[in-house]
Structure 1
Amino acid sequence: MTNELKQPKYYVNRELSWLAFNDRVLEEARDTQNPLLERAKFLAITQKNMDEWFMVRVASLQQQVLVGHNNPDASGLLPNDQLSMISAAAREQIKNQYQVLNRSIIPALKKQGFELKHADNLADSQYAFLKRFFEEELLPILTPMAIDSTRPFPFLANDTLNIGVRLKHETDKSEKYTAVLQVPTTSGRVIALPEKNQVILVEEVVQIFLDAVFPGYDIKETTVFHILRDMELDVADDEDTPNILQEVQSKLQERERGRVIRVIVNTNTSKTLMSKIIKALDVSDERVYEVNGAIDLTFLSAWLKLIDAPYLEFSKFKGYESSELSPDNMFVSIKQQDYLLHHPYDTFKPVVTFIQTAACDDDVLAIKMVLYRVSGNSPIIRALADAAQRGKQVTVLVEIKARFDEENNVHWARELEQKGVHVVYGLRGLKVHAKMALVVRREDDAIVRYVHLATGNYNDVTANFYTDLGLLTRDSELGMDVSSIFNILTGYSDQEYFHQLHMSPNGIREFIYDKIDGEIANANAGKSAGIKMKFNSLSDEQMIRHLYKASQAGVPIELLVRGITMLKVNIPGVSDTITVHSIVGRFLEHSRIYSFNNDDNPEVYLSSADLMTRNLDRRVELLFPLKDTALRQRVLSIFQTMWQDNVKTRVLQSDGHFEKIDRRGLSTMNAQEIFIAESLSVQADVKRQEKSAQAQRKFEPINNPFLGGEA
């Protein structure tokens, strides 16, 4: 039966599944129930998502073709077949992006009084303003690069906008000339005009006044194009690599000159100019995409920053902040009980306060953390530096191979080292993706450990719009396990046993297999069985086969998957009992939950790991239990609320596409809005209690000796 379950017909192609996820994000840009500016943000997100997908996944497939790697994926497709198929699918998605832009977002913004101007509809005063702006701000930094026998096509950096130009000399009309210039970024992508709420794109300003850059020549044509390069970071962190930090820094420089992986150009570009650009960039026609509108939709993010219209956005929301986890109460509170934080409905501030309080506490002896992604102005980094300067033992593993955060993490690693922090750059051959912090404290002549474990990064910015779960605990067994893991990460340790934690490589995979097998055994014995899981992606074939086996045994399986899922549902005799939901909404679903019915005695685990081969086999990840009954029930309740969502949920169908739930006759259930309402309700209750306590203190009797007794 195992070999039967390996058949390609049982699997969805990974890249098509990813494109389907980005389509779900694009649906949010179309959805008129979302506020207008939020719809524009969703559209910009689809561009950012697709750019990263091209730079990594499409680049990887192209590299496989170049080196002759010809093994099929789980769905039976060879790399070259995948490239052809996803190129067509991506082309269709890009066309849909521009339909949303041109037919929906821009007209709706204009109707609200926010206009994107073009060269053909500028007022005289606007033209004069832009002429001055061009001469003062843009012309001094523009660098026209001629293309001829002595001046070959210039190097164009990754993720840049460029302008291709066809020219003729005023006196020699027979000779044709070509040039390229990079659109400057110093003034930003979107230029605000003097008239309120009117803007123009910087590349259009350059094109309007391009004559000034080429005096003596007639400009016959201009076109804007955007290029992406292969941005995979191939770091050789093996025995022959003496310094991983230097290797990453070196590879970052090399990466900027990677092969061009995609070109986006305006559909009005002539074949003559197009062919010159494409030939010079050495990119196949399959990787060239023509669009009807502004190149690179991330310009929307820059435009939205200039729009002050809160009535066109989601209402502002700040998560609940428990007074029990304030600096004065932090360690006392955690000593008494475990705390589960559900971000962003619970604010991220207690996590920051946990590290800040430890840094200042005289009884704290050591702090250890793993940092994968942090914000550009991280308060946690500052707290760790402060702790080191106060003489505490501070050890931080900074994963400098975190994709697209490599430069930021190299910067923070250097910064922390200068402050006296002991910095580790990761493990050879593995990325460290675990989310954990350990505080070692002296209490009553004993050493105790306080621990934070989480599903998400220590990033105080993204915590406002990523949903994640975190645990603050003083549990001694978890504390010992975390200490052991830090010994593995920073020293030489072959720890074979953990009390409560499970760690990949290998450990999480085998543990989840065992738990699935336990549910299979319960189902076969006629006992209550069931599996509930929430994660970002499901692409590990062996794990999918294990879930298929559970379904064949009759185990009900509910999967909440944000992004990729290579699993197919409703295959007779294979996946009849598996249901897959995907929620795409206001917040990015990022938490990972693994729950097993265990004959009506549910076990609940949280993890940093998705069910992807890289997470299970090539990364250091953690999976940890919720031992407290109340916290387990809270997470199961969170899962159930999300499972009942019928507004932002799409359900996976037999043919591999996701479909929204038909809400006719159903009460509206938007899980994220429910969690917001619950958080606001708790905050309102706390304020009422505080006011009541203040009023009681104000009017309670005062023992006044001058009145001869109680007042």
Structure 2
Amino acid sequence: MNHAGDPVEPALQDITLNDSALYFNRELSQLDFNFRVLAQAQDANVPLLERLRYLCISCTNLDEFFEIRAATVRHAQDFGMAARADGQAPATILRRIHERAAELVDAQYRCWNEELRPQLAERGIRLLQPNEWNAEQREWLRTYFRDEIMPVLSPLGLDPAHPFPRILNKSLNIVVTVEGRDAFGREGHLAVVRAPRSLPRIIRLPDRDGDGDAFHDFVFLSTALSQFVGELFPGMRVTGAYQFRVTRNSELIVDEEEVENLALALRDELVGRGYLRAMRLEIDRDCPQPIVDTLLRNFELPSHALYRIDGPVNLNRVIQVYDLVQRPELKFPPFIPRQMRSVDSLFERVAEGDVLLHHPFDGFGPVLELLKQAADDPNVLAIKQTLYRTAKDSAIVEHLVQAARNGKDVTAVIELRARFDEEANLAFADRLQQAGVQVVYGVVGYKTHAKMLLIVRREGRKLRRYAHLGTGNYHAGTARAYTDIGLVTADPDIGDDVHQIFQQLSGLAPEIRLKRLLQSPFTLHAGVLARIEREAGHARAGRAARIVAKMNALSEPEVVRALYRASQAGVEIDLIVRGACCLRPGVPGVSDNIRVRSIVGRFLEHSRVYWFANGDEPELFCASADWLERNLLHRIEACFPILDPALAERVKSETLDNYLADNIEAWELQADGEYLRRSPGPGEAAHSAQAALLAKLSA
């Protein structure tokens, strides 16, 4: 069964490349990615606590999917927007989203109830239900509830004087049915208890005597609330307590053309983000239908947006157990990223030749050290950097602050609209501005997604530019969890290109002509199309032609059509697409020569690499952009070549050839939309791309 689009016809006669049968739906394809993540949680070969982590990732991903992708489809439905390339109307897509999401939720809770929770308990890590509490634990939890939880709760009885309260996005709530009369003679019926975000969602019970670190007992906050909520209604009888959670649209919309100060406007929007339109309701499976109907009416949701849950509605919160339990044998073996050889001056090292970093196997330290040395070097005159997402306690920000205090001219282009990082980025902007850094918020209407750092240094009588360009964010945490490519170079052409882009971002520069880089929204889209067509020309001329590209998502229709035409011309095309892919491979006469695979492993695949055979003169680019319409046409993105032949071959070998050989963590997309997991064939050696890189590169 195909989930990403309609079933492919056995034979497509006289098909045009605009035919909707050739395109999978982006949202449904993205949703299917989470089944591949969940498969890691179901894999007995993965360490147990890592399986728990994958389960939580799939739950968190689904939350974000409803907050953003499903909300976007709902918006398209409300405003009567036309169907996209796959030809499905928004209303149809939204219903199919709920159908497929229901399958995912069912699989998640079966994985939790039937596999992970029992297996964790066998190893001394218990997430206890009330019928599993002994008398001592019950009394401890009752005391904990009275002392730590009850003082911050504010139950709200529902009556004409107390209408249904505003429910915050993804917050934990209990709807309670009560009988009896209160002190004012009011008849009990329904009440809502909201759990403040200050309360821990996982409660750790005291260690069992003499058990040391081998045994751990936990209780979900939602379980404790449901059990002891009667304490909030003295003199009345609680007849039912049902946890629920609502997921809301979280896409902030700021009309940048109409605001005088983007930062102030964004701060205002953030206040109301948690109360935007509801998209999904999760509730206890045993909740009576009349109460469910009341909640659906209140949130203005259709019945197919309801998810009855067999377990805690906030299952993703069990991720806290991963950090609370120190059991190395139940986790992936630790690794130490490879560090660059120690040098007194990174500038001297980069002047000798380009430096390539493949995270997380190569450490992020050289990037931080480069910025630190630039901040302290009296010969450095200026530093310019883009910041899209960075860590809460970012050393990057502190180095920029120190550089400004040391008299450097420092410019930070901060993207305030980085989804879910808006508040943090506003705080970073304030911190930098107070230190004298020139803060720029990019270009109206275009998110700045490029990852660039430029350092201008005086060397003798000349100024020299040093640039760092990457596929990932300036975030030390994600540099240990995501695969990304970074390049540090003193190449004059690349340095000049990066300088011009910064000038364009901070000033009112006209369209620029770059020597080496491709840039969205100006030249990247056209540059990708031209290179795909060039490969098709080689194939039509009888020359060998090939394209290998790795990215997070692929949906831009013109790029998809160009790939189809190249396949028809005879170009061999291999695509490594982690998430959503709207291209349908393996269609006779259209995409026979296209193969698509997705890799899901220990690290999140995040690097974007494009390789074109180009006869005997191959080109390899790394980029911050996926092949999506937003990245290619509506964002500021940077795509940079790897000019050193040895480094280009290294990137191709490690990020492309290596992943095409994976037969452990690779999923191959079929023409009908199914993803089939690869496994070693008879006589074929097992190969995990990420494991191979860990063995080769990490210390």
Q: Which TM-score bucket, shorter chain as reference?
A: over 0.9
Matching residue's letter, 1:67: F
Q: Does 1:110 align with 2:128?
A: no
Q: Does 1:547 align with 2:566?
A: no
Q: Which residue of 1 aligns with 2:222?
A: 203
Cross-structure match for 1:689:
none
Q: Does 1:595 align with 2:595?
A: no
1:628 and 1:154 mapped to 2: Cα distance? 61
Distance 1:229 1:91 in 2: 17
User: Is 1:628 matched up with 2:640?
Assistant: no
| SS in structure 2 at match of 1:411 | helix
Matches within 5 A, 1:171-250: 175-196=187-208, 197-238=216-257, 240-250=258-268
Deviations 1:665-698 (A, max 9, x none): 2101001000000024xx4xxxxxxxxxxxxxxx
1:133 to 2:149 alignment: no
Q: Which residue of 1 aligns with 2:663?
A: 646
Q: Aligned partners of 1:158, 1:496: CA distance in 2, in Å?
A: 43
Is the CA contact 1:20–1:657 (under 8 Å) kept in the aligned structure 2? no
- Matches of 1:204 and 1:580, distance apart in 2: 43
Does structure 1 retain, via aligned residues, the 8 Å contact 2:171–2:197? no
Distance 1:171 1:103 in 2: 42
- Counterpart check, 1:288 vs 2:306: yes
C-alpha distance after superposition, 1:210-262 (max 9, x if no partner): 22211121101100011111111111111x32111111111112322201111
Instruction: Report the alpha carbon displacement of residue 2 of structure 1 after superposing the two structures with TM.
Output: 12
The 1-side partners of 2:676 and 2:646 are apart by 34
User: What is the CA distance between 1:66 and its match in structure 2?
Assistant: 2.1
The number of residue pairs the alignment matches comes to 677
Residues 286-310 of structure 1, C-alpha deviation per residue, up to 9 Å, x if partnerless? 1110111111221221122221101
Query: How many Å apart are 1:405 and its aligned residue?
Result: 0.7
Among 337, 341, 346, the alignment partner of 2:353 is: 337
CA distance in 1, matches of 2:276, 2:634: 24
Does residue 509 of structure 2 align to residue 493 of structure 1?
yes
State the SS of the aligned residue for 1:6: coil
Name stretches of at least 5 consecutive residues in structure 2 with no aligned partner: 1-12, 209-215
Pick the aligned partner of 1:38 from 33, 36, 50.
Answer: 50
The one of 169, 174, 177 equivalent to 1:163 is 174
CA shift at 1:170, angstroms? 5.7
- The residue number in structure 1 matching 2:676 is 659
- The 10-residue stretch of structure 1 (145-154 or 175-184) with the greater mean CA deviation from structure 2: 175-184
Which aligned pairs between 1:25-64 and structure 2 lie closer than 5 A? Answer: 25-64=37-76
Q: Is the 8 A contact 1:2 1:545 kept in 2?
A: no
Residue pairs, 1:550-565, within 5 angstroms:
550-565=566-581
Aligned counterparts, 1:308-387, within 5 A:
308-324=326-342, 326=343, 328-387=344-403
CA drift of 1:490 comes to: 0.1
- Equivalent in 435, 451, 462 of residue 467 of structure 2: 451
Instruction: Work out whether residues 519 and 638 of structure 2, in 8 Å CA contact, stay in contact via their aligned partners in 1.
Output: yes
Match of 1:695 in 2: none
1:171 deviation in Å? 8.9
2:595 aligned partner? 579
The offset of 1:174, in angstroms, is 11
CA-CA distance at 1:273 after TM superposition: 2.1
Structure 2 CA distance for aligned equivalents of residues 104 and 120 of structure 1: 19
Structure 1 segments of 4+ aligned residues over 3 angstroms from their partners: 170-176
Q: Structure 1: where are the runs of 5+ without partners?
A: 684-711
**Could you tell me which residue of structure 2 aligns to residue 614 of structure 1?**
630
Q: Of residues 15, 20, 23 in structure 1, which corresponds to 2:32?
A: 20
Which amino acid in structure 2 is aligned with residue 415 of structure 1?
R
Deviation at 1:114, TM superposition (A): 0.6
Please give the alpha-carbon distance, in whole angstroms, between the structure 1 residues aligned to 2:322 and 2:182.
46
Structure 1 residues 520, 180: closer, same or farther in 2, change over 3 A? same
Does residue 86 of structure 1 match 2:86?
no
Tell whether the 8 Å contact from 1:146 to 1:178 is kept in structure 2 after alignment.
yes
Residues 141 and 224, structure 2, Cα contact 8 Å, conserved in 1 = yes
- Cα deviation, residue 495, structure 1: 3.6
Q: 2:440 aligns with which of 424, 445, 449?
A: 424
Give distance in 2, aligned partners of 1:21 and 1:170. Answer: 51
* Code of the aligned partner of 2:239: K
Deviation at 1:138, TM superposition (A): 0.8
- Contact 2:53 2:319 (8 Å CA) reproduced: yes
Q: Is the 8 A contact 2:520 2:636 kept in 1?
A: yes
On the 8 A contact 1:170/1:218 being kept in 2, the answer is no
Q: How many Å separate the matches in 2 of 1:175 and 1:215?
A: 14
Q: CA RMSD in A?
A: 1.6
For residue 148 of structure 1, the aligned residue among 132, 143, 159 is: 159
Q: Does 1:66 align with 2:78?
A: yes
1:523 equivalent in structure 2? 539
CA distance in 2, matches of 1:293, 1:152: 28
Tell me if the contact between 1:262 and 1:287 (Cα under 8 Å) persists in the aligned partners.
yes
The 1-side partners of 2:97 and 2:615 are apart by 43
Compare relative contact order (CA 8 Å, sep 6+) and give the higher one, 1 or 2. Answer: 2
Of 503, 507, 519, which residue of structure 1 is paired with 2:523?
507
CA distance in 2, matches of 1:41, 1:372: 25
What is the match of residue 686 of structure 2?
Answer: 668
Q: Distance in 2 between matches of 1:244 and 1:171?
A: 49
Cα 1:171–1:22, aligned 2, differ >3 Å: closer, same or farther?
A: closer
Aligned pair 1:433/2:449, yes or no? yes
Q: Does 1:442 align with 2:458?
A: yes
- Give the fraction of aligned pairs with identical amino acids, expressed as a percent: 37
Decide whether aligned partners of structure 1 residues 108 and 391 sit closer, same or farther in structure 2, where only a CA change above 3 A counts: same
Distance 1:231 1:2 in 2: 43
Is residue 664–residue 679 contact of structure 2 (8 Å, CA) maintained in 1? no
Shift of 1:277: 2.0
Encode CA deviations 1:28-70: one digit per residue, 9 max, x unaligned: 110111000000000000011010010011111112222333x
1:56-114, CA deviations, whole angstroms, 9 ceiling, x for partnerless residues? 11111112222333x11211100001111111011111101111111111011001111
Query: Cα distance, 1:4 vs. partner?
Result: 1.2
Which residue does 1:475 correspond to in 2? 491
TM-score (norm 2): 0.95
Q: Which residue of 2 aligns with 1:275?
A: 293
Equivalent pair of 2:597/2:669 in contact (CA under 8 Å): yes
Secondary structure at the counterpart of residue 219 of structure 2: strand
Query: 1:645 is matched by which residue type in structure 2?
Result: D
